[in-house]
């Protein structure tokens, strides 16, 4: 994140303006997680995790879960509100809060290294990508590819604004932004789309707008063994 974005994110938590936090486990996670076909005990990375209850659900499925979150207020709230007593230790530029199968690295996602993160088998992204400004998203995806291993699965949940006059049939295609961001480093499938009309809490007088909730399954592309390194 940039300095300005970081400051704004921390201020949201200080002011308790965390309307994006869901008070229950995301139902699309519970419905589609099995599509990744992960082995029991697989380690799952949750970037920009906040205090998401989805991490508890993932741990209950037998996974080791590691999140990364900028705000220490969010991290502290996660463990306190769920009755967990974490142990803290320094890991690179991060403070790791750990309780059993659950760990959160407190610090800036863009400072994360593969060594800090350790081995992961899958990534769960419910709102990390869409929480970022559009001009930061390509950097987010590029950095993700540097910290996850050569073979890794991703479950990506997005909420996309439907274009004016767009039909549901058209919305069943992957968004052009997702294709542009991920196609170079990931193979991906759009496995679910549902349409909802939602009101904007900031503009309550405006009529509800149609949004598309989409579920993508991604797999990192492995290097082509036939390619020769550049001279």
Count up the domains in the chain and report the number: 1
Most confidently predicted of 7-11, 178-182, 202-206: 178-182
Read off the pLDDT band of 118 (50, 70, 90).
very high
pLDDT in tens, 15-74: 454 444 467 899 999 999 999 999 989 999 999 999 999 999 999 999 999 999 999 999
In a domain? residue 230: no
Task: Report pLDDT for 180.
Answer: 95
61 and 156 Cβ atoms separated by less than 8 Å: no
Residue 229, domain member (yes or no)? no
Residue 160 pLDDT: 83
Q: How far apart are the C-alpha atoms of 196 and 127, rounded to whole Å? A: 17
Query: What's the predicted TM-score (pTM) here?
Result: 0.84
In a domain, 117, yes or no: yes
What pLDDT is recorded for position 17? 47
Any domain includes 226? no
Residues 71-95 have a mean pLDDT of 95
For residue 202 the two structure tokens come to 């900031």
In which domain, by residue range, is 121 found?
3-15+24-220
More confident residue, 173 or 122: 122
- Residue 231 inside a domain? The answer is no
Higher pLDDT, 161 or 14: 161
What pLDDT digit, counting tens, does each position of 128-137 carry?
888 888 889 9
pLDDT value of position 179: 94
Stretch among 39-43, 95-99, 195-199 having the lowest mean pLDDT = 195-199
For residue 231, the model assigns a pLDDT of: 41
Of the pLDDT bands very low, low, confident and very high (cuts 50, 70, 90), residue 228 is very low
CATH value at residue 11: 3.40.50.150
C-alpha 86/C-alpha 100 separation (Å) is 8
Q: What tens digit of pLDDT does each residue of 137-195 get?
A: 999 999 999 999 889 999 999 988 776 555 554 556 678 999 999 999 999 999 999 98
Residue 196 resides in a domain: yes
Is residue 227 situated within a structural domain?
no
Starting from the edge strand earliest in sequence, which strands make up the sheet with 64-69, in order?
87-91, 94-99, 102-106, 64-69, 43-47, 122-125, 153-161, 209-220, 186-198
- Residue pair 166/176 in contact (Cβ under 8 Å)? The answer is no
Tell me, yes or no, whether 161 lies in a domain.
yes
Residue 223 has a pLDDT of 66
Q: What's phi and psi for 105, nearest 5 deg?
A: -90, 115
What pLDDT score was predicted for residue 40? 86
């Amino acid at each position: 994140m940039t300095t300005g974005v970081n400051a704004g994110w921390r201020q949201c938590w200080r002011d308790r303006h965390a309307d994006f936090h869901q008070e229950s486990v995301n139902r699309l996670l519970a419905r589609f997680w099995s599509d990744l076909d992960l082995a029991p005990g697989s380690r799952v990375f949750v970037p920009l995790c906040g205090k998401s209850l989805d991490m508890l659900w993932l741990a209950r499925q037998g996974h080791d879960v590691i999140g990364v979150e900028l705000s220490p207020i969010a991290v502290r709230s996660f463990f306190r509100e769920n009755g967990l007593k974490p142990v803290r230790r320094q890991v690179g530029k991060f403070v790791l809060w750990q309780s059993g199968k659950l760990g959160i690295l407190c610090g800036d996602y863009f400072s994360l290294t593969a060594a800090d993160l350790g081995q992961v088998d899958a990534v769960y992204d419910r709102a990390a990508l869409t929480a970022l400004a559009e001009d930061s998203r390509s950097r987010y995806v590029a950095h993700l590819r540097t910290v996850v291993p050569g073979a890794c699965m991703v479950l990506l949940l997005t909420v996309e604004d439907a274009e004016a006059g767009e039909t549901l049939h058209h919305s069943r295609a992957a968004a052009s932004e997702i294709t542009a961001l991920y196609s170079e480093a990931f193979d991906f499938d759009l496995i679910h789309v549902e349409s909802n009309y939602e009101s904007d809490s900031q503009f309550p007088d405006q009529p509800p707008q149609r949004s598309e909730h989409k579920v993508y399954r991604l797999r990192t592309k492995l290097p082509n063994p036939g390619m020769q390194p550049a001279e």
